[in-house]
Structure 1
Amino acid sequence: MHIPDGFVSLPVAAATGLASMVGLGIALGRSQDAFGIRRAPVLGLTTAFIFAAQMINFPVAGGTSGHLLGGTLAAITLGSPWAGTLCIATVLIIQAVLFADGGITALGANIFNMALIGVWVGWGLTQTLQRLFGGHRGRLPVAAGIAAGISIVVAAVACAIELALSGTAPPLLVLPAMAGVHILIGVGEGLITGGVLAYLATARPDLLPGNQEQFKGWVVPVVSIFLIAGVLSLAASASPDGLERVAENLGFIKLAENVRVQVPTPLADYGIEGLGLIGTSIAGIVGSIVCFGVAFGIAQLVRPNNA
């Protein structure tokens, strides 16, 4: 769902960019209560994990692929939608700047759709479903999985509205097309989100909020992230993702080729020229490290002085 340069108009890019800047500014201020010394590493690990997981495109029907958005997972793991917003925004900024994934001019729209709408819809629905389920902690993975799947569709609809307002595609075509393909992608999002939370609740409760257990160590999460980014990412589906498929079907895919604002980087498209699959592995590991470092730094920045 990463919008490339050329898909949204200047007014839409400016409006979503302003909204995203305001949202991130508020998130920085409201995240202070989420991070003490014990929770700071979790923001870094969560951000690195979501970056790595987003490298793995899974196939859905019709020769289309999707990947984890991770907004609901981030918000639940970190115990705060504000912290979840910072997590996803960090991933999106690093993807755009270091890997040319998502347009620079469309960065505000991508943050608005995925780091704000995606995170907050997933968080709000999870809380609502948990109340309906009686608040039992064991039902959290199910509630979050359902909410995560729905959040993907809502974020996709927001993206479709931006495309329609930009004159990129007719609303009567782009809205059902984006919603339809992202319903399928949302199923994958829900399964991954629920599965990861179920695993953490059983094997690593120290990584979830509300637990008083001491942080159990770095080895397993770091090795897992490196395996995902450096090995499992090599098996990612080569099929176009949901937005790219819709752009091909509706005939506006060439807009991305006509306008591309790219920061010079040797890691464009998650690879290193001339290194093949090894380059992809290196790019994934480097990206994970950068995501961890930036997110950990943000946690230190917003941490209360007495934490």
Structure 2
Amino acid sequence: MHVPDGFINAPVSAATGIIAAGAIAVSLRGARRELDERTAPLAGLVAAFIFAVQMLNFPVAAGTSGHLLGGALAAILVGPYTGVLCVSVVLLMQGVLFADGGLTALGVNITDMAIVTTVVAYLTFRGLVKVLPRTRRSITASSFVAALISVPAAAIAFTFLYALGGTTDVSIGKVATAMVGVHVLIGIGEAAITALTVGAVIAVRPDLVHGARGLTQKLKLRVGGELVDVPETAEEPVPVAAARSHRKVWIAGLVTSLVLAGFVSFYASANPDGLEKVAADKGIDKKTEEHATSDSPLADYGVKDITDTRLSGGLAGVIGVGVTVVAGSAVFWALRRRRTTDTDPASTASVTSASSSSSSASENA
């Protein structure tokens, strides 16, 4: 559902750019609360995984394909604020390096694919896990439903934006019907990928799934013949065995992303995705503009001057995963370090001590 340049006029594109910038600013602050020793390493990997899976278009109807949007997956794995940042990093890498999604439409794409999908999915997910039994199966089922709903929600959001700033005169009712219809089908694929991924991580390290925290039953002790809840304690350090398992999960996730982008992507459907198909059928692509980075060495997910299609696409996918995991990890580790600095008592004490010493020196002088 990457919107190219020319679909939405300049005023609405600028307005969505402001919305996207505001949401990213809020997410940067919120992510500092979500990112810890478990989430920070995983967040960059989640961004790279989303990039890889978005290369795997799957057929959904005659002549139409779909791909993962990723908002639901990111929100459930690493939290809603961090999730918005994950998908935004992916969209930025795709727009700048691969000419996928217009640069003037970057605000539209972040608003639609990062903000709408993440917010809708996470609210749906949290609502479901509150009423369902606290089990791993309920978390996986909730992630399926949340992802399923998030995709047509994004289709509705695009239709609304097009109604406000579309560059062609078309029937919005017909566009809405077509967009929602095809994206319900795409949502099924999104839901399956999200549920399988969340279920796989829960099976290995449930503590790494942000949406699963606090959902386990409290431990109880028998005291005087009665069962009482074990008192909650402060955050405990990650055991050595868990840390090793954490590294294994990260390595396995990175290898999986590289294989998907570098090899499996060759077998992805070549049919246009839902938005491209609707745009062609309904005539909303008449004023599509050439991408600003169409001459990029990686444009259209291929490496320039490499004639072998399989090799060219595979290398582009591997480069994309590598760049995304590095860029994402840099952002999230920086936020994690900022959180540590802000909350470290020793750091606060040293600053206070330095201030006191400076004040004393000034008074003596």
TM-score tier by shorter-chain length is over 0.9
**Structure 2 contact 40–329 (Cα < 8 Å) conserved:** yes
How far 1:36 sits from its partner (Å)? 2.4
**Structure 1 contact 118–155 (Cα < 8 Å) conserved:** yes
How far 1:261 sits from its partner (Å)? 2.7
| Aligned equivalents of 2:19, 2:146: Cα separation in 1 | 23
Question: Deviations 1:140-196 (Å, cap 9, x if unpaired)?
Answer: 111111111110000111111112222333211111111111000001011111111
**Structure 1 contact 6–260 (Cα < 8 Å) conserved:** no
Aligned to 1:300: 333
How far 1:207 sits from its partner (Å)? 3.6
**Structure 1 contact 92–107 (Cα < 8 Å) conserved:** yes
Aligned to 1:236: 268
Aligned to 2:312: 279
**Structure 1 contact 27–82 (Cα < 8 Å) conserved:** yes
The residue matched to 2:38 in structure 1 has which SS?
Answer: coil
How far 1:206 sits from its partner (Å)? 5.5
Question: Deviations 1:221-243 (Å, cap 9, x if unpaired)?
Answer: 22111111101111110000000
**Structure 1 contact 53–229 (Cα < 8 Å) conserved:** yes
Q: Structure 2, unaligned stretches of length 5 or more?
A: 215-237, 345-365
The residue matched to 1:2 in structure 2 has which SS?
Answer: coil
1:61 partner amino acid:
A
Bigger Rg, structure 1 or 2: 2
**Structure 1 contact 130–136 (Cα < 8 Å) conserved:** no
Aligned to 1:28: 28
The residue matched to 2:301 in structure 1 has which SS?
Answer: coil
Aligned to 1:145: 144
| Aligned equivalents of 2:207, 2:261: Cα separation in 1 | 23
Aligned to 2:363: none
Question: Deviations 1:27-49 (Å, cap 9, x if unpaired)?
Answer: 00111112223322101111110
Spell out structure 1 runs of 4+ moving beyond 4 A.
Answer: none
Residue 262 of structure 1: which of 293, 306, 309 is its match?
293
The residue matched to 1:284 in structure 2 has which SS?
Answer: helix
Whether 1:47 aligns to 2:59 is no
Question: Deviations 1:3-55 (Å, cap 9, x if unpaired)?
Answer: 00110011110111100000001100111112223322101111110000000
| Aligned equivalents of 1:263, 1:34: Cα separation in 2 | 37
Aligned to 1:165: 164
| Aligned equivalents of 2:51, 2:207: Cα separation in 1 | 21
| Aligned equivalents of 1:259, 1:269: Cα separation in 2 | 12
Q: Give percent identity, aligned residues only.
A: 41
Q: How many residues were matched structurally?
A: 305
Aligned to 1:89: 88
| Aligned equivalents of 1:115, 1:302: Cα separation in 2 | 19
Aligned to 1:104: 103
How far 1:135 sits from its partner (Å)? 3.6
Moved more, 186-195 or 263-272: 263-272
Aligned to 1:226: 258
Normalization by structure 1: what TM-score?
0.95
The equivalences for 1:246-261 within 5 A come to 246-256=278-288, 258-261=289-292
Name the CA shift for 1:38/1:204 in 2 (closer, same or farther; >3 Å): closer
How far 1:254 sits from its partner (Å)? 3.2
The residue matched to 1:139 in structure 2 has which SS?
Answer: helix
Aligned to 2:62: 62
Normalization by structure 2: what TM-score?
0.80
**Structure 2 contact 136–202 (Cα < 8 Å) conserved:** no
The residue matched to 1:162 in structure 2 has which SS?
Answer: helix
The residue matched to 1:31 in structure 2 has which SS?
Answer: helix
| Aligned equivalents of 1:38, 1:237: Cα separation in 2 | 35
**Structure 1 contact 20–112 (Cα < 8 Å) conserved:** yes
How far 1:134 sits from its partner (Å)? 3.1
Name the CA shift for 1:263/1:29 in 2 (closer, same or farther; >3 Å): farther
Aligned to 1:113: 112
How far 1:263 sits from its partner (Å)? 6.2
| Aligned equivalents of 2:58, 2:270: Cα separation in 1 | 9
1:96 partner amino acid:
G
**Structure 1 contact 206–216 (Cα < 8 Å) conserved:** no
